[in-house]
């Protein structure tokens, strides 16, 4: 029986239709769809043989290894729930996720297995199985797989089977587990396929850590839907040269990067040393990208840019600025480059004011979502679910405006707005202005408590290599371009801004630093 609306069916179908087609490249290993399906089946059968039953959770801690990708396929085929964990977390955070998800098995890459040594007892955890991409033959995982049948696992999964718990990166608080069934992932898969134009002959380079929603919902599952090839990149640290080398070597057609990575690629000055002519789509998103950098990107890679906007809870992409819109904007006044586009296939998106009504074009409101791939809940967290999903609409916490044609302009995250003297300052706008300065590579703007104004604008700036600028100069630069109330009155220079694995700013740390500075200054007075 076919069951077309499951992730499991797509993997199975590829093993029939595209047995010898390259499915996955992971380091030195290259698996065809036939081989990939067999490995997935062995893993699924192995998990069932461990006594796991439908709905049980399987956690994975790894870099971007084939095993981590196979684990998603195995969960899909055995009716289990995949819980990918970031290898950068502390043992305490890992323990929290294992306990909260009730994971029964952890598949751990040897290099990060040490994280599990420091954790307290996780009552549901039955076994840890280690894999080592550098010692395939000798790893516990390979020995375990070898003992399992490669036949289809005997589970008749449907779209209603639970599939995924993705713990969000926690840039706005403690991590929460967005929860998805097979049907949500299946409903979302056509989105990247349409927006980025992923086809059977596409070769996708996956740079995100395996635990990000993008890895599964923008890469693996759409690739399985289309029968495309996924190439994994090392997620331990991004290097522009390594990325360019991989694009050239593997003749990559599609990639998606966060702004920090693309800025590094642009600033490396190395693009010309590599053959990147295979690229058909360069996607970017996950965080704001300064407009002048989009122009630079287009000059470097051509008119093949697509911007995606979304959240973990929206299965990844929920809105997009496509190639045609980039072309039009670049040929015109460029205004639309500041937009993240319009809602994509299947996504209902509204911008609503505090009274819950849709705002008029040009007015500020919060983005809310509804649709077949929006997370229906946070796992075992009814309180947060009720706070976030109200009357069936998921509240994003992103403040935005729409224009007359329905294009979305993100103004800021609700929590990042600075209220100075009763006036709302969008940190994103100030950051963009600072980035216009030639010496500035990146900027982050947060609030600092102030007895007179309530809050003041406090900036952290990382300079480009070899560039020089002082605080007074940057403040004067902002004064020429922003109203007084929006201008930072303190600027601190840092080597790197604190970012999570996905390149998103972790503003909590910066706010704490700004608060501490306010305290020191008030004590000194
Ligand atoms: P948490 O929800 O736990 O705080 P997080 O914010 O890092 O973690 P994600 O789901 O990874 O969770 O991030 C989603 C957010 O990223 C969006 O709400 C939005 O603020 C931002 N974002 C995504 N795409 C874009 C984009 N194209 N432009 C600007 N911001 C974006």
Q: Digits of tens for pLDDT over the chain (525 positions)?
A: 556 689 999 999 999 999 999 999 999 999 999 999 999 999 999 999 999 999 999 999 999 999 999 999 999 999 999 999 999 888 888 999 999 999 999 999 999 998 999 788 899 999 999 999 888 778 999 999 999 999 999 999 999 999 999 998 655 556 799 999 999 999 999 999 999 999 999 999 999 999 999 999 999 999 999 999 999 999 998 999 999 999 999 999 999 999 989 999 999 999 999 999 999 999 999 888 888 999 999 999 999 999 999 999 999 999 999 999 999 999 999 999 999 999 999 999 999 999 999 999 999 999 999 999 999 999 999 999 999 999 999 999 999 999 999 999 999 999 899 988 888 899 999 999 999 999 999 999 999 999 888 899 999 999 998 999 999 999 999 999 998 889 999 999 999 999 876 777 888 889 999 999 998 888 887
CA of 169 to the centre of ligand 1 (A): 9
C-beta of residue 231 within 8 angstroms of C-beta of residue 246: yes
Please give the pLDDT value at position 512: 92
CA of 312 to the centre of ligand 1 (A): 8
Residues 6+ apart with CB under 8 A from 28: none
Nearest atom within ligand 1 for CA of residue 410: 29
Task: Name the residue with tokens 């791939």.
Answer: 373
Residue 525, Cβ neighbours under 10 Å: how many? 5
Planar angle of CA 254, 132, 139, nearest 5 degrees: 135
Nearest atom within ligand 1 for CA of residue 428: 29
Q: Where does ligand 1 bind, in terms of residues with CB under 6 Å? A: 168-172, 285-288, 307, 309-312, 340, 396, 398, 410, 413, 502, 504
Query: How far is 267 from 246, CA to CA, in rounded Å?
Result: 18
CA of 352 to the centre of ligand 1 (A): 18
Q: Where in the chain is the domain with CATH 3.40.50.12780?
A: 33-182
CA distances from 406 to 32, 121, 350, 403 (A): 42, 51, 10, 5
C-beta of residue 195 within 8 angstroms of C-beta of residue 322: yes
**418-524: CATH superfamily:** ANL, C-terminal domain (3.30.300.30)
Task: Report the residue among 311, 314, 384, 413 best suited for mutation to probe ligand 1: largest number of ligand atoms under 8 A from its CB.
Answer: 311
Nearest atom within ligand 1 for CA of residue 308: 27
Query: How far is 183 from 157, CA to CA, in rounded Å?
Result: 11
CA of 68 to the centre of ligand 1 (A): 24
Please give the pLDDT value at position 3: 67
User: Residue 195: which H helix or E strand, with range?
Assistant: helix 190-196
Q: Where in the chain is the domain with CATH 3.30.300.30?
A: 418-524
Please give the pLDDT value at position 522: 80
Residues 6+ apart with CB under 8 A from 366: 351, 352, 353, 395, 396, 397, 398, 399, 400, 414
ipTM of the predicted structure? 0.95
CA of 285 to the centre of ligand 1 (A): 9
Please give the pLDDT value at position 499: 84
Task: Report the residue among 209, 286, 306 best suited for mutation to probe ligand 1: largest number of ligand atoms under 8 A from its CB.
Answer: 286
Token representation of residue 343: 């809602």
CATH code of the region 33-182: 3.40.50.12780
Residue 273, Cβ neighbours under 10 Å: how many? 12
Nearest CA to ligand 1 atom 14: 311
Please give the pLDDT value at position 291: 87
């Amino acid at each position: 029986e076919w069951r077309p609306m499951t992730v499991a069916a797509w993997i199975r179908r590829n093993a029939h239709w595209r047995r010898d087609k390259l499915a996955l490249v992971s380091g030195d290993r290259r698996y065809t769809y036939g081989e990939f399906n067999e490995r997935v089946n062995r893993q699924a059968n192995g998990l069932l043989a461990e006594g796991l039953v439908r709905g049980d959770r399987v956690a994975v801690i790894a870099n971007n290894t084939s095993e981590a990708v196979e684990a998603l396929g195995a969960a899909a085929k055995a009716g289990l729930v995949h819980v990918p964990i970031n290898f950068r977390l502390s043992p305490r955070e890992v323990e929290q996720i294992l306990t909260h998800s009730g994971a029964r098995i952890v598949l751990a890459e040897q290099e990060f297995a040490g994280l599990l040594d420091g954790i307290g007892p996780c009552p549901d955890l039955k076994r840890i199985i280690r894999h080592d991409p550098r010692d395939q033959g000798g790893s516990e995982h390979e020995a375990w797989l070898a003992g399992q049948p490669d036949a289809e696992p005997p589970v008749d999964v449907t779209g209603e089977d639970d599939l995924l718990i993705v713990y969000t990166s926690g840039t706005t608080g403690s991590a929460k587990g967005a929860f998805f069934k097979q049907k949500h992932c299946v409903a979302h898969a056509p989105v990247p396929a349409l927006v980025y134009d992923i086809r059977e002959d596409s070769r996708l380079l996956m740079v995100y850590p395996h635990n990000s929603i993008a890895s599964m919902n923008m890469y693996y599952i759409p690739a399985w839907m289309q029968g495309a090839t996924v190439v994994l990149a090392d997620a331990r640290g991004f290097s522009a040269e390594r990325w360019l080398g991989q694009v050239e070597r593997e003749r990559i057609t599609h990639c998606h990067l966060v702004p920090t990575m693309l800025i590094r690629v642009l600033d490396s000055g190395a693009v010309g040393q590599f053959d990147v002519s295979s690229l058909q789509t360069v996607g970017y998103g996950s965080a704001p990208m300064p407009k002048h950098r989009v122009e630079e990107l287009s000059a470097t890679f051509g008119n093949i840019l697509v911007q995606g906007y979304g959240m973990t809870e929206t299965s990844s992409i929920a809105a997009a600025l496509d190639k045609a819109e980039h072309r039009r904007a670049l040929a015109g006044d460029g205004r639309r480059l500041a937009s993240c586009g319009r809602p994509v296939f299947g996504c209902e998106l509204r911008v609503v004011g505090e009274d819950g009504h849709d705002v008029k074009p040009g007015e500020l409101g919060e983005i809310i979502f509804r649709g077949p791939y929006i997370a229906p809940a946070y796992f075992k967290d009814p309180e947060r679910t009720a706070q976030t999903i109200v009357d069936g609409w998921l509240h994003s916490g992103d403040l935005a405006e729409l224009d007359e044609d329905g294009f979305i302009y993100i103004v800021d995250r609700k929590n990042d707005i600075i209220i100075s003297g009763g006036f709302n300052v969008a940190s994103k706008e100030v950051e963009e202005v600072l980035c216009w300065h030639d010496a500035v590579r990146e900027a982050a703007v947060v609030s600092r408590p102030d007895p007179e104004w309530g809050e003041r604008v406090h900036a952290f700036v990382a300079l480009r290599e070899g560039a020089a600028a002082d605080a007074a100069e940057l403040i004067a630069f902002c004064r020429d371009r922003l109203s007084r109330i929006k201008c930072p009155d303190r600027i601190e220079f840092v080597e790197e801004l604190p970012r999570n694995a996905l390149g998103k700013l972790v503003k909590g740390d910066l706010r704490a630093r700004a608060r501490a500075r306010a305290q020191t200054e008030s004590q000194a007075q």
